[in-house]
Amino acid sequence: MTGQAERPLLFLDVDGPLLPFGEDPQHTRRHATPDSRLSRLSPRLGLRLAALPCELVWATTWEDDANAEVAPRLGLPTLPVVNWPESSGHEREDIWLGLCW
């Protein structure tokens, strides 16, 4: 160990925490494209996240797409991504083992 304390990890989800569900609280005009919610991301949020005393990690079903689509809009660098295990096709066993979104 180098004597420096490791920074804690902050696992980021996209849908819900960064892209709220429901109507845009500022009532901006909605576009017809499926990713129109991405326009609601504010670079100010990225600055606030980057200022936290922790390491940021994507923990979202977006996986690598979070770095391609979300991080640039927030002004964040490429972040590590949690790679979720693939489903075995046996839903009951997957739930028992905690393998679910």
pLDDT tens-digit profile of 23-35?
655 555 544 445 5
Take residue 64 and report the two structure tokens written for it. Answer: 């690598």
44-49 own/partner pairs: CB under 8 Å, 24+ apart = 45/18, 45/74, 46/71, 46/73, 46/74, 46/75, 46/76, 47/75, 49/10, 49/12, 49/74, 49/76
Alpha helices in the chain (DSSP H): 43-50, 65, 71-74, 91-97
pLDDT tens-digit profile of 40-90?
888 899 999 999 999 999 999 899 999 999 999 999 999 999 987 766 666
Take residue 65 and report the two structure tokens written for it. Answer: 């797409």
Whole-structure pTM over 0.95, yes or no? no
